[in-house]
Structure 1
Amino acid sequence: MHRITLGNTYFEGENDAYLFTGAETTLVDTGIATADTREQLADGLADHGVAFADIDAIFLTHYHADHAGLAAEIQAESGATVYAHPEDAALIAGDDDAWDDLESRQRAAFEEWGMPEDDQEVLETYMQAGVDHHTAGADVETFADGDRFDLGETTLEVVHTPGHTAGLTSFAMPERNEVFTGDALLPVYTPNVGGADVRVDRPLERYLDTLGRIADAEFDRAWPGHRDPIDDPTARAEEIIHHHQERAYRVLRALDDLGPADAWTVSADLFGELDGIHILHGPGEASAHLDHLTRAGDIEKDDDGTYSLPADTRERLLQRDDEGWPL
């Protein structure tokens, strides 16, 4: 297995694609469809004697452009089979109805979060550029959680790890006790939940379940979709769980300070002024936490779309002497 590092100036942090050579030549993720990244991927493959036309199979962790952007172009050159989870497959295939549905859900979410119109316009322009970083839609075969694919030197086992997107998938390698995690587990920053894919129902709950599944598997190493390998995936998963406990506490403190507030206002308290993709990610993350805390009965959602802190939660909050909140 060979890791190929790819630049990414559009989204946060360098991307990783992973190459397997043998009886079949396989890629896990492809990088974004920009000229620089296309050249970097071609050069990285050439270092191992491989060209786009030699690729037999592509396994995609999720639909985002920085992971799936070049899949269709490589498939057009090679005839490779492109695999993805059913929840993300239509978006990767470039299905107009799927993209229209996503954009409609995003617009509805922006209104629900209380995002100002000017920020909506800036964000929609930015996100359209992201859509443009997909090459023409690929023909996609789907897989299911638990499916296994023999690559010769190793096996890829499908592990559905939703939260960041509905179809986000990790690929375990049982022989090595290692796992490709895409954006489910990252070494430096925490994957966005709530904004990165507004199709996900109960995004924080589902992501916490994903982190628990990764932690319980006790993998020896994780190969993420960005940056360097993670040598203790269980510890990193537990660290991100603790991060969300701390964020939940900060959300409650924000509501205590602000009074009834919508997701955009809570996001401003948590993250300050936002630009670029963070105009989406900030209120999306705030919304995911507000939704989770509402379902837990810790806060209340009012008819006007704002959230408020009940007296019993305020009392519990005052009694706590740490910066975490049970999730």
Structure 2
Amino acid sequence: MNEQAEQMQESTTVHRLECSVDWPPENVAAYLVDCAEPILFDAGMAGETAREELTDDIATHGYELADIEHLVVTHPHTDHIGQVQAVIDAADPEVYAPASIRRRFERDPEDLGDTVRANAQAAGVQGESLDDAVEMSVESLKRDSRLLPSEAVDHWLGRGEAVEIGPLTVETVHTPGHQADHLCYLADLDGERVLFSGDMALGTFRPVAMHVGFDDGYEDAIGQFYTALDTLADLDVDRVFTGHDDPHTEFEARVQHDRESLDRLLDRTREALEDGSGSTAVEIAFQRSGDRNMEYLVIETASALAHLDGEGVLTSETDDHGVRRYEVA
């Protein structure tokens, strides 16, 4: 890093920008790095309300959307890429995103629908719920590829590489599990090692292990999440700028919290089979759901069952209706 860049970093400030969402914790955060070439990490929720919130929040720090020179994406979920196009229209910034998103957005929607139908059916999803799961997956692919158009990305970022983003040197850290392409970004700011963590190392909850949804590879979500936590645990981090909680300095504790949460997920999944609560992902997810979103819990539970099956803790077979049923080995 040159001397000028180091001087720029000495006075760098990071501002948390907040947009509303309809699910707990009812907000999502983007971060404005106030430096010689303003950088925005993530771009808030989709919709007009979020656009107004993002614009107003930036204005409280003396900026406009047009001032953004660099836009960095952690992962392609709607609440993190919702205002990418608004920022592009206003500022025409350099746009950075995980390289594997490009391939994901090239997925054939019809083929995705067929795959999701087979995998969701194997999890025990039936009838209208099965049709809804297929439609949701296909529409999510179409929507997210519109929100983050591939042709607008200037820099497709690999995993574990160093990249110059304005005056910052940023290291990409691949952290799958919650979402398969998810990257965190590690940088030095004002003598601190800071992590722009997206939906990892959150302060109050572990994000659901959605990974690839019910596309092929969903079985790997839990294993990939553990791998991501191992990767994070090896980092030296002083401060974390998260996608849903306030910035915090409890990095090691939050990574350990997520690991323990995954451990509990696997334990409770096995226990549900032992006590007869069910034999399919849908049946076990129903026992967990309470007032939470059942759709995502089914995906996570299906991955937990597949993980335990792969470890030999469970056995499984597919019945005549294409439903995979599990029992303790």
TM-score w.r.t. structure 2 length? 0.83
Q: CA deviation at 1:248?
A: 1.2
Shift in alpha-carbon separation, 1:226–1:280, aligned structure 2, 3 A: same
Q: CA deviation at 1:97?
A: 3.9
Greater fraction of residues in strand: 2
Q: Which amino acid aligns with 1:180?
A: F
Q: Bigger CA drift: 72-81 or 282-291?
A: 72-81
Shift in alpha-carbon separation, 1:20–1:272, aligned structure 2, 3 A: closer
Counterpart CA distance in 2 for 1:97 and 1:145 is 21
Shift in alpha-carbon separation, 1:40–1:118, aligned structure 2, 3 A: same
Counterpart CA distance in 2 for 1:207 and 1:222 is 18
Q: Which residue of 2 aligns with 1:320?
A: none
Overall identity of the aligned pairs, in %: 25
Q: CA deviation at 1:24?
A: 1.6
Q: Which runs of 5+ in 2 are unaligned?
A: 1-13
Contact 2:17/2:29 (8 A) holds in 1: yes
Q: Which residue of 2 aligns with 1:181?
A: 197
Counterpart CA distance in 2 for 1:100 and 1:54 is 40
Q: Bigger CA drift: 80-89 or 143-152?
A: 143-152
Deviations 1:233-253 (A, max 9, x none): 111111111122122111111
Shift in alpha-carbon separation, 1:260–1:48, aligned structure 2, 3 A: closer
Q: CA deviation at 1:63?
A: 0.5
Q: CA deviation at 1:106?
A: 2.9
Counterpart CA distance in 2 for 1:108 and 1:217 is 39
Asked if residue 242 in structure 1 is aligned to residue 242 in structure 2, the reply is no
Q: 1:170 aligns with which of 173, 177, 184?
A: 184
Q: Which amino acid aligns with 2:230?
A: G
Q: Which residue of 2 aligns with 1:203?
A: 221
Q: Which amino acid aligns with 1:189?
A: F
Q: CA deviation at 1:257?
A: 1.8
Q: Which residue of 1 aligns with 2:93?
A: 80
Q: Which residue of 1 aligns with 2:78?
A: 65
Q: CA deviation at 1:279?
A: 2.8
Q: 1:89 aligns with which of 87, 91, 102?
A: 102
**Structure 1 residues 1-327: aligned runs within 5 Å:** 1-9=14-22, 12-89=25-102, 95=105, 97=107, 99-123=109-133, 128=139, 132=143, 135=147, 137=149, 139-140=152-153, 141-151=155-165, 154-175=168-189, 176-194=192-210, 197-199=213-215, 200=217, 202-258=220-276, 261-272=279-290, 278-304=293-319, 305-310=324-329
TM-score w.r.t. structure 1 length? 0.83
Q: Bigger CA drift: 79-88 or 98-107?
A: 98-107
Contact 2:177/2:211 (8 A) holds in 1: no
Deviations 1:67-122 (A, max 9, x none): 0111123213322122111222356xxx5645555444433322121112232345
Counterpart CA distance in 2 for 1:103 and 1:222 is 37
Contact 1:179/1:223 (8 A) holds in 2: yes
Shift in alpha-carbon separation, 1:101–1:82, aligned structure 2, 3 A: farther
Contact 2:19/2:28 (8 A) holds in 1: yes
Counterpart CA distance in 2 for 1:22 and 1:273 is 42
Deviations 1:298-327 (A, max 9, x none): 1112132111112xxxxxxxxxxxxxxxxx
Q: SS state of the match for residue 202, structure 2?
A: coil
Q: SS state of the match for residue 283, structure 1?
A: helix
Q: Which amino acid aligns with 1:284?
A: I
Contact 2:38/2:67 (8 A) holds in 1: yes
Q: SS state of the match for residue 302, structure 1?
A: strand
Counterpart CA distance in 1 for 2:163 and 2:232 is 20
Contact 2:116/2:134 (8 A) holds in 1: no
How many aligned positions are there? Answer: 304
Contact 2:211/2:221 (8 A) holds in 1: no
Counterpart CA distance in 2 for 1:6 and 1:130 is 22
Q: Which runs of 5+ in 1 are unaligned?
A: 311-327
Counterpart CA distance in 2 for 1:79 and 1:297 is 52
Counterpart CA distance in 1 for 2:174 and 2:30 is 19
Q: SS state of the match for residue 306, structure 1?
A: strand
Q: SS state of the match for residue 44, structure 2?
A: coil
Q: Which amino acid aligns with 2:326?
A: Y
Q: CA deviation at 1:64?
A: 0.6
